[in-house]
Amino acid sequence: MTELVKTEHISIIYFYERRARRLLPVLLLVMLASMPFAWRYLLPDQLVGFSKSLAFSLVFASNFYWDLSLQEYGAQSALLKPFLHTWSLAVEEQYYIVFPLLLYGIYKWARKYLAGILLFIMMLSLLLAEWMTGEDASFSFYMMPTRVWELLAGSLLALAILNRESPVPESLWSRPQ
């Protein structure tokens, strides 16, 4: 958002490059460190599931894998699925594929309605999450459309901070004496 406001452009390639430099080294290290333990301790069918979860995690689509394999996040069986937590990373990365493009489009053609449009999309996502919880709890838990409201809340907060005309008074940050 800062780049867009200052330059009226977004370097999508630079944005994704920064994300990759931040996330991929740690993800790859965890994957490599997990492999010997999986090989040693998992049964053959569990090892197949582990391999699938690695592949889906690498392309930031593990939320699809876990939703389709009907894996319940809090289940006891989740203890043997070390990449179950990558569903949230997948949702975040899917958001960051869509959001910069959406942000740029809104900023270019409806700048004065940016916050309102993002708030509207956030509320739609929250309502979808609420409705889908009763219809398909797994989809509601793992998929980006029902989780985007959480990410948009952070984006709207960032926008509010960016648009703030005066800095927060020093007294709000310091302890009373």
**Gyration radius of the chain's alpha carbons:** 20
> What pLDDT score was predicted for residue 120?
98
Q: What distance in Å separates the CA atoms of residue 70 and residue 62, rounded to the nearest whole number?
A: 12
Q: 162 pLDDT exceeds 60? A: yes
Closest among 154, 164, 162 to 125, alpha carbons compared: 154
HEC sequence for the chain: CHHHHHHCCCCHHHHHHHHHHHHHHHHHHHHHHHHHHHHHHCCHHHHHHHHHHHHHHHCCCHHHHHHHCCCCCCCHHHHHCCCCCHHHHHHHHHHHHHHHHHHHHHHHHHHHHHHHHHHHHHHHHHHHHHHHHHHCHHHHHHCHHHCHHHHHHHHHHHHHHHHCCCCCCHHHHCCCC
Mean pLDDT on 73-78: 66
Overall pTM surpassing 0.85 (yes/no) = no
* Average of per-residue pLDDT across 36-52: 92
Per-residue confidence (pLDDT) for residue 19, from 0 to 100: 86
- Identify the band that residue 156 occupies on the pLDDT scale cut at 50, 70 and 90: very high
User: pLDDT at position 171, please?
Assistant: 46
In contact, 89 and 148? CB cutoff 8 Å: no
Q: What's the residue count for the chain?
A: 177
pLDDT at 165 over 80: no
Mean pLDDT of 80-102: 90
Lowest mean pLDDT among 25-39, 75-89, 139-153: 75-89
Provide mean pLDDT across the span 145-165. Answer: 89
Q: How confident is the model at residue 173 (pLDDT cuts 50, 70, 90)?
A: very low
| 120 or 166: which leads in pLDDT | 120
User: How far is residue 126's CA from residue 130's CA, in Å, rounded to a whole number?
Assistant: 6
Per-residue pLDDT for 10 more than 60?
yes
Considering only residues 80 and 126, tell me which one the structure prediction assigns the higher pLDDT.
Answer: 126
At residue 80, the pLDDT reads 72
Span 83-109, mean pLDDT?
A: 92
